[in-house]
Structure 1
Amino acid sequence: MEKTHYATLDETLYQQTLANGLKVTMLPKAGYHKTYAVMTTNYGSIDNSFVPSGESEFTEVPAGIAHFLEHKLFEKKAGDIFEVFSRNGASANAFTSFTRTSYLFSATDHIKTNLLTLLDFVQEPYFTEASVNKEKGIIGQEIEMYEDDPNWRLFFGIIENLYPEHPLHEDIAGTVDSIAKITPEQLYAAYRTFYQPSNMNLFVVGNIDPLATLTWIEANQNGKDFPAAEPIQRRFPEEASDGSDIIPYRMTELPVKRGKSIVGIKGLAEVTADRAGLKYRTELNLLFDMLFGDSSSNYLQLYDQGIVDDSFGYELDVARTYHFATLSGDTEKPQELSDAIIGLLEKASENPDLNAGRLALVKKDALGRLLQSMNALEYIANTYSGDDFGDASLFDLVDIIDEITLTDIQTTLKQFVRSKALSVFHIQPLAADAQ
């Protein structure tokens, strides 16, 4: 078992890749009563074109199948897995993102039993025609609920502008029409392809003994037969490297009291899955905090002008095959807000907020938030399992934040913020509501 000590955080990681390829990472936290475990597969909503395990040709599956599969794994012939966890004092959940699917539990006791339950239910699929058809109605209601959410519509509106061809613009849950096409055979094909142990990782953090925990996991995995691992082949539509396929502007009307405005920036450069990639993402976070954080002169000016309020903020997503940033808020003046943001972005290199003194402040703030987050077991496990930067992880962020310079920020600004990479999406109140 490999042991890595991070002196700046005073944390020690224990790692072992099992014979079947499953990567196990453990972080003991002395003094904690709770233990949190998350099992993650490198498979998400964008992975709809792939070569199924044991086959040689690409297949296309309906949008939403990764999320559908997540739901179905909790249902077994013997009953609902949530009830099993509950009987053993654990709280369980799962979530699907664009690139990952994760299954998790937290508990204060019966850790071995709950950990083995997690491994077993994720690794034992059970789908029938009847249960799949039943789930379509349940997920269909979930989809309709999201379609009524203006913030959800705003987010996917800008994503469709930035990625009109990439499956990223499709709702993670799919559509009512797409999930209606899902079959048990497709679920099994996706499961066999992406739920190989070698495409998964298990992270356990909390009041644990690493050696004893690894012994439980190894015994469980050694008692199961898995097919030989196969290379996973995924396929994505070709995108214009110069951003010429980006839709510059769209808008829609919804029954909202106030308008919503969002500006998106599509990353046109490739992000490497290593420490350099993690540093690049950190530089982007610091850059947007410098320019648009709630203590920046830009934000205060927009706030004083009545263009933004407390709803304004930015989000950044950096993952395999894509990365983008969004800046959004509720406003009476959607066009003024997007124009102001674009104006600030296009002249960001000359912005007075982009200086060494402010960088030092936002680095200090970022470091403080990171150290505070390291007390949250959920944050540690989910962040570690969800990132894709090779051997680099959140445990390297203290050193990475410390080494970033103003020159690094300026270089990243020039690389990421380009006029041709920008897009705008507005939500306006329905004409009847606006009168």
Structure 2
Amino acid sequence: MNKKVYPDLNEVLYTEVLANGLTVFILPKRGFHKTYGLFSTNYGSIDNEFGYQGEKRKKVPDGIAHFLEHKMFEKKEGDIFQEFGRLGASANAFTSFTKTSYLFSATDHIQENLLTLLDFVQAPYFTPETVEKEKGIIGQEIQMYQDDPDWRLFFGLLQNLYPKHPLHIDIAGTVDSIDKITAADLYESYQTFYHPSNMILFVVGNIDPQETMSWIKENQVAKTFPEIRQIKRYFPQETSEDIVSYSSATMPVSRPKAVLGVKGFEENLPEGNKEQLRFRTAINLLLQLLLGDTSKNYLRLYQAGIIDDSFGFEFLLDRSFYLADFSSDTERPEEFFAEIEQIILNFANEKEVNEENLARLKKKMLGRYFQSLNSLEYIANQFTQDLFGQLTLFDVPEIIHSIQLQDCLDAGQRLLQKEAIAKFYLRSEKEV
């Protein structure tokens, strides 16, 4: 095992890539009662067109990654949740745009729970009958999200920013798309993306790293996997001309909602894992300088009634896409859009974008970071999200310290461009 010590954080991370390609991370945390295990594949909702290098590409129905996540818990012998419950563990899973993760948390029977996690994820079981049964369940889940105004707002924006890219499609797919899914589709997607070489196992808790690694190795060496093959994913090419600048929809909401988004273009993304992590950090700091809850812009817009305490923004950087979005409940959408656009496009001239405010926000960001490390749940859920090549969650403080004002300005130049902006408005039925 490779051992990396983070003396400033009092953390030691153990890493090893097994013979079958599985990357294992183990983080011992003395004094904690719970242990978390997270088994994650680099496969999400956007990966609906793929193939092996040199072979014909395949297109599968939208929502299949999420459908597969649901079906993995059902085995011929019964429901895996019951097995985790028998072992005193809590289990869950989630699918994002680019990843599918399975996890457990427990205070004892750690070895049994860890092996259960590995075994059930590495033993798919689908039949035409169980697949058909699941379609009704997931169809209800899709409808539930369609009834969620914030969900509709976000995907309305994505539809405008990424009209061709599968990012704009609901993670769960549509009722029509999941109706096309077969057991054969599930097995094909599973065999492609659930190979150990495309997966990461992360274990954190009051554990012995050598002992834990021996459990994992013994489990993996007893299984047979296909040879490692290179997966090729296909995404449509998009330009600024494809962006839909504005659209709207109507829902029975008490207050209208507005969101403005900025699409990042691949050619403007810095090269290299470290530079991309620095870019993400610099953009987050710049947006806090411009519109954070302690900024003058935020206070002015709030006092004017253009935004309320629902206002928020985020920056997403992931495989094949990156974007920023700004949203709020507001009955004055035109003013909201005009103000946010003015602020972000003129970021270089904003007086609050200065060295003093940046130093304060860096301290605030570091404070939140260190506080979050007290939660094993946060570490477990965030670790795979913060992997940038060899850089991990524990390299973030060094990156924050390194950011200078010019880094924020350079990052803003890369992202905040007028031709990259789209707007979506969710109006109340009362307005119609």
Contact kept in structure 2, 1:41 and 1:194, CA below 8 Å: yes
Contact kept in structure 2, 1:43 and 1:194, CA below 8 Å: yes
User: Residue 64 of structure 1 corresponds to which residue in structure 2?
Assistant: 63
Give the CA deviation at 1:275.
Answer: 1.1
User: Residue 3 of structure 2 corresponds to which residue in structure 1?
Assistant: 3
Which amino acid letter does the alignment assign opposite residue 374 of structure 1?
L
Give the CA deviation at 1:434.
Answer: 3.9
- Cα distance per residue 1:166-203 (max 9 Å; x no partner): 00000000000000000011100000000000000000
Q: Which runs of 5+ in 2 are unaligned?
A: none
TM-score (norm 2): 0.98
| Distance of 1:304 and 1:348 partners within structure 2 | 21
Give the CA deviation at 1:272.
Answer: 3.8
Aligned residues: 430
Give the CA deviation at 1:379.
Answer: 1.6
Contact kept in structure 2, 1:96 and 1:172, CA below 8 Å: yes
| Distance of 1:388 and 1:193 partners within structure 2 | 22
Which amino acid letter does the alignment assign opposite residue 255 of structure 2?
R
Matched, 1:324 2:305: no
- Cα distance per residue 1:404-431 (max 9 Å; x no partner): 000111111111100001111001111x
Matched, 1:266 2:275: no
| Distance of 2:327 and 2:106 partners within structure 1 | 37
| Distance of 2:362 and 2:277 partners within structure 1 | 15
Contact kept in structure 1, 2:256 and 2:425, CA below 8 Å: yes
SS, match of residue 32 in structure 1: coil
| Distance of 1:188 and 1:67 partners within structure 2 | 14
| Distance of 2:183 and 2:327 partners within structure 1 | 40
| Distance of 1:205 and 1:276 partners within structure 2 | 27
The residue correspondences of 1:20-419 to structure 2 (distance < 5 A) are 20-51=20-51, 56-240=55-239, 243-268=240-265, 269-272=268-271, 274-419=273-418
- Cα distance per residue 1:340-378 (max 9 Å; x no partner): 100111211101110001101110000000001111112
Structure 1 segments (4+ residues) deviating >3 Å: none
Which amino acid letter does the alignment assign opposite residue 227 of structure 2?
A
SS, match of residue 241 in structure 2: coil
| Distance of 2:335 and 2:207 partners within structure 1 | 53
| Distance of 1:364 and 1:258 partners within structure 2 | 36
User: Residue 12 of structure 1 corresponds to which residue in structure 2?
Assistant: 12
Which amino acid letter does the alignment assign opposite residue 253 of structure 1?
T
SS, match of residue 72 in structure 1: helix
| Distance of 1:386 and 1:196 partners within structure 2 | 19
- Cα distance per residue 1:70-118 (max 9 Å; x no partner): 0000000000000000010000000000000000000000000000000
- Cα distance per residue 1:32-73 (max 9 Å; x no partner): 0000110000000000001169x9211100000000000000
Bigger Cα displacement from structure 2, 265-274 vs 113-122: 265-274
Contact kept in structure 1, 2:269 and 2:276, CA below 8 Å: no
Which amino acid letter does the alignment assign opposite residue 49 of structure 1?
E
Give the CA deviation at 1:386.
Answer: 2.3
- Cα distance per residue 1:136-161 (max 9 Å; x no partner): 00000000010111110000000111
Give the CA deviation at 1:387.
Answer: 3.3
| Distance of 1:70 and 1:238 partners within structure 2 | 28
What RMSD, in angstroms, separates the aligned Cα atoms of the two structures? 1.2
Contact kept in structure 2, 1:261 and 1:427, CA below 8 Å: yes
Give the CA deviation at 1:254.
Answer: 1.1
| Distance of 1:177 and 1:283 partners within structure 2 | 41
SS, match of residue 226 in structure 1: coil
Structure 1 residues 185, 52: closer, same or farther in 2, change over 3 A? farther
Contact kept in structure 1, 2:52 and 2:230, CA below 8 Å: no
Q: Which runs of 5+ in 1 are unaligned?
A: none
| Distance of 1:334 and 1:76 partners within structure 2 | 50
| Distance of 1:425 and 1:116 partners within structure 2 | 46
Which amino acid letter does the alignment assign opposite residue 105 of structure 1?
F
TM-score (norm 1): 0.97
- Cα distance per residue 1:233-264 (max 9 Å; x no partner): 11111112xx1211100011111111101000
- Cα distance per residue 1:258-302 (max 9 Å; x no partner): 110100000112354511111111111111111111000000000
